[in-house]
Amino acid sequence: MQRSIRMANPFWGQSASEEFLLAVVDFVQRHGTARGLVMRMEQMGLGSVARSWIYSNVHEPIFSEQLHALFGTGVLRAFAAKLNLSPRDLVRNLSQSLPRVLNRLSAPDQSVYSGPVGHSYR
């Protein structure tokens, strides 16, 4: 039996429900952890986006096609089904909540993003 996740109204940047954020945290942990996600983003040319999420109050956006490339369409569809959301709604809400989740998973005492040799961004 699937459990429906109640979503807050995402209009004008209002955030997703806490339950959805917890589901996203679990999703990130299951698909490479915060560090692995940042490394994949860097390899895809999205390093500046990831760094903005971790180190800035102004988060660069991530687009639908980038999320599909990052996680894979099949993985996103399965996650949407698990949450009883349409894939489109999942991606829209994930693009808004993933920056916050990655920021919170990046504890101040952990180096989530390592840049060139000898230089850590944390």
List CB contacts of 86: < 8 A, sequence separation 6 or more: 80
Mind listing the domains of the chain with CATH numbers?
A: 18-105 (1.10.10.690)
pLDDT surpasses 80 at 114: no
Residue that wins the pLDDT comparison between 110 and 107: 107
How high is the pLDDT of residue 74? 96
Which of 14, 10, 31 lies closest to 78, judged by CA?
31
> Across residues 20-48, what is the average pLDDT?
92
Gap between the Cα atoms of 25 and 31, Å rounded = 10
How high is the pLDDT of residue 111? 45
